Amino acid sequence: MNSIFDTIVIGSGIAGLTAGLTAKVGDKKVAIISKNKATSSQSTQAQGGINASRDTASTETFINDTIKSSHNICDNKAISFMCEKSYSAITWLNDIGVPFSKLQDGSFATRRLGGSKSSRTYYSSDWTGLKIVQTMFDNCIKADIEFLEFYYLLDLIVINDTIKGAIFLDITTSKVVKIYASNVVFASGGYAGIYANNTTNSVDTTGDGVAVALKNGLKLTNMEFVQFHPTSMVGSHILISESARASGGYLVNSHNKRFVDELKPRDEVSKAIYEQIEKGQNVYLDMRHIGYETINESMPQERELALKFANIKIESELLQIEPSAHYSMGGISVNAQGKTTIKNLYAIGECSDTKIHGANRLGGNSLLECVVFGIVVGKLCATNEQKTEEVKSDKLSYNKSMIDDIFSKNPTTNFYDIKNKLSKILNKYVGIVRDEKGLEVAIRKINQLQKDYDQTTIEDKHRGFNNTIVKFLELGNSLLIANELATSALKRKETVGSHIRSNR
């Protein structure tokens, strides 16, 4: 493997694939690096779709909907830019081959998601994320972009406030390696997965890139804003996409009564469901009036998921749901060009805070952000003519001894116990509703868990494809993120969007 690249992108979700594809011009060497198989990111699970507006009037409404949904905790210019570029993002995706659902006349089909004044979400049945990822992956292969799979980001190489590369654990060999690059792009996803057992995210969505940014002195912003999606299946927490409500699905309580306008923004709908559950009600998604044919045409995946994981036929039965941690609005602070404060180091997609989503993300805006800012950052990388060479840095030896330490120490506690305790603390004290005392307890308990973590290590000392060390490293990052999240939540005294403060 050539370990000097023009651009390395850390993450192979929709943000990373977009940036990689755009950065690959001429003979530029571009690598997309991921801790899993390149095609198995969180992005593949996106169902509902991607937002866009076509003309000036509808773009104005789109901008206003996004600002309103963020509760004004946003950069209006960044939002305007994203919305203005939205339709060209759809045509770009369409041109590279994404099979969007179309109407009989060949025009794009759209649906209306919560918090939106119009029907502006473009989709590919309810497989939107998967179809985009697979199409982009094929295009990247054709463009000769290198994919480095099973490389776990450990650290950055920074000299004089300029990025020079990054340090990874090669998961297949447990060796620590350095990769140099003139541009480094964080596209490493969000952190809602740290709410283990109460999240729609995959278990490895642990905010690794955000934690590495923090360890390297970068600023994190809006960390307290975690979106709880209204409709996850009770038990499995698998998401039932907003397309269910967009297609006319109702939310009813145990008395079969509707209690909220289902197409309000997610923060309001989740709060209403939370209040019902607090009153002892069960809450159900009612799709019975929609009919098998419509369900099967626009939500085949959701029908299948409900059948497989809850044994419920949504066309004829009620499906019990509850809110679950779904999306992290906060992250690595960047400007509207995806730039961090380290030269040639960027952050895009869910790991970044571009100040688009603020206190509550609008459904369909995450994929759009990934594509629009992925293109912006990819272009900046493509035009950077500086060449990086090998540099002296003590980061390699530091990370090697950190990994050696993990293999040589003896465990004092089973680290999975720490992981379970962390998710219980987050769900109890830093969930939908938070209060001052609870947040103080959470921070104290997280600090104690951090001490336990620092003492312990893994039991499985096998060097090679050892997934236990990955889980262990992810837990280290989760603890850092949890502390940031709870600390930011304590500082934010008011209720705003997804952050609901109670005076208990």
Which residues contribute to the site for ligand FAD (CB under 6 A)? 10-16, 33-36, 41-43, 45-50, 128-129, 151-153, 187-189, 200-201, 205, 208-209, 239, 326-327, 349-350, 364-367, 370
Residue number with CB closer to ligand FAD (388 or 477): 477
| CB 358, min distance to ligand FAD, A | 15
Picking from 194, 268, 248, the residue whose alpha carbon sits closest to that of residue 480 is: 194
| CB 211, min distance to ligand FAD, A | 9
Q: Is 26 exposed, middle or buried (0-12, 13-18, 19+ CB in 10 A)?
A: exposed
Residue number with CB closer to ligand FAD (134 or 495): 134
Q: How far apart are CA 327 and CA 349, in angstroms?
A: 11
Q: How far apart are CA 318 and CA 207, in angstroms?
A: 34
Q: Is 95 exposed, middle or buried (0-12, 13-18, 19+ CB in 10 A)?
A: exposed
Residue number with CB closer to ligand FAD (205 or 456): 205
Contact 349, 369 (CB under 8 A): yes
| CB 217, min distance to ligand FAD, A | 18
The whole-angstrom distance between residue 343's C-alpha and the CA centroid of its chain comes to 24
Phi, psi of 464 (to 5 degrees): 140, -145
Q: How far apart are CA 120 and CA 113, in angstroms?
A: 8
Picking from 64, 52, 55, 126, the residue whose alpha carbon sits closest to that of residue 93 is: 52
Contact 373, 416 (CB under 8 A): no
| CB 462, min distance to ligand FAD, A | 20
Residue number with CB closer to ligand FAD (271 or 326): 326
Residue number with CB closer to ligand FAD (140 or 490): 140
Three-state SS string over 380-438 comes to HHHCCCCCCCCCCCCHHHHHHHHHHHHHHCCCCCCHHHHHHHHHHHHHHHCCCEEEHHH
Picking from 413, 492, 200, the residue whose alpha carbon sits closest to that of residue 327 is: 200
| CB 184, min distance to ligand FAD, A | 12
Q: How far apart are CA 175 and CA 160, in angstroms?
A: 27
Q: How far apart are CA 133 and CA 145, in angstroms?
A: 15
Residue number with CB closer to ligand FAD (114 or 438): 114
Which residues make Cβ contacts (< 8 Å) with residue 239, sequence separation at least 6?
Answer: 45, 47, 200, 229, 231, 232, 233, 324, 326
Cα–Cα distances in angstroms (integers) from residue 308 to residues 7, 40, 84, 129, 312, in the given order: 42, 21, 40, 20, 8
| Coil, strand or helix at 177 | strand
Tokens of 249: 């699905």
| CB 3, min distance to ligand FAD, A | 16
Phi, psi of 167 (to 5 degrees): -110, 135
| Coil, strand or helix at 317 | coil
Residue number with CB closer to ligand FAD (376 or 442): 376
Residue number with CB closer to ligand FAD (53 or 253): 53
| CB 441, min distance to ligand FAD, A | 28
Residue number with CB closer to ligand FAD (281 or 320): 320
| CB 34, min distance to ligand FAD, A | 4
Residue number with CB closer to ligand FAD (351 or 443): 351
| CB 175, min distance to ligand FAD, A | 15
Tell me the DSSP string of 149-169: ESEEEEEEEEETTEEEEEEEE
| CB 82, min distance to ligand FAD, A | 12
| CB 316, min distance to ligand FAD, A | 24
Q: What type of residue is 71? A: H
Residue number with CB closer to ligand FAD (36 or 139): 36
Residue number with CB closer to ligand FAD (154 or 318): 154
Beta carbons within 10 angstroms of residue 255's beta carbon: 8
Picking from 458, 479, 351, the residue whose alpha carbon sits closest to that of residue 402 is: 458
| CB 201, min distance to ligand FAD, A | 5
